[in-house]
Amino acid sequence: MDDEPIWYVAYGSNLFGERFRCYLTGGRPRGGARRQAGCRDPRPARAERAITVPGGIYFAHDSRTWGGGMAFYDPDLPGRAAARAYLLTHRQFCDVMSQEMHRDVGADHDLSEAVTRGRQRVGPGRYETVLRVGECAGRPMLTFTAPEPAPPNAPTAPYLAMLGGGLREAHGWSAGRAASYLAGRPGARGAWTPREIAGLLHPRGR
């Protein structure tokens, strides 16, 4: 089970490859306040690809790493959410989830309910509800999110810059397209304009 490949579907800051590597090998992401422990197995993902999944993201709660709202996935929101899928071992997936929850790595969760039924609560925390969002090459595609939607909270500039950089890197979007996408999400909508977010992304190149 530890070596069974699972597609981890990232829709927040882990869209950006440099940030996601901190979850695998340890380290502090650029602009973040918290150092990640890394996985027991620090090897790179076996494969990765840009995808979209039904639903959308919203910003809520308060991030210890970035301050402000964090991205959460809601399959019931209209449209499609831009994401990036990483092919990980079962153990790596569990360690990434533990780090998102500010817990020690090392717990090997049985995710069979999520794989077979599409949804599983592995704990009470914000990122401890696992959803199956599809299948690719015969392997399940899983992500984790909050158990239920929370009141929106605006994200910070460093967090938006990381998400925007990930959208540009994974999907090849322009700064304008990435900014418009992020500015339209609940929590960011009304707090950030597309122009303001685009200004955060241009330093990464047009």
Distance CA 131, CA 29 (A): 26
| Residue with the two structure tokens 């999520």 | 114
Q: What is the pTM of this model?
A: 0.93
Distance CA 6, CA 161 (A): 28
Per-residue pLDDT of the chain (206 residues; tens, 9 = 90+): 456 899 999 999 999 999 999 999 998 877 666 778 899 999 999 999 999 999 999 999 999 888 999 999 999 999 999 999 999 999 999 999 999 888 899 999 999 999 999 999 998 888 999 999 999 999 999 999 999 999 999 999 999 999 999 999 999 999 999 999 999 999 999 999 999 999 999 754 44
The residue extents of the domains of the chain are 5-145, 157-204
Q: Provide the pairing of β-strand 70-74 with 56-60.
A: antiparallel
Q: Provide the pairing of β-strand 139-145 with 129-136.
A: antiparallel
Q: ∠18-38-63 over CA atoms, to 5°?
A: 70
Output DSSP code: residue 141. Answer: E
**Taking each helix axis from N to C terminus, what angle separates 17-25 and 90-100, rounded to the nearest 10 degrees?**
100
Spatial contact of 48 and 169, defined as CB atoms under 8 Å apart: no
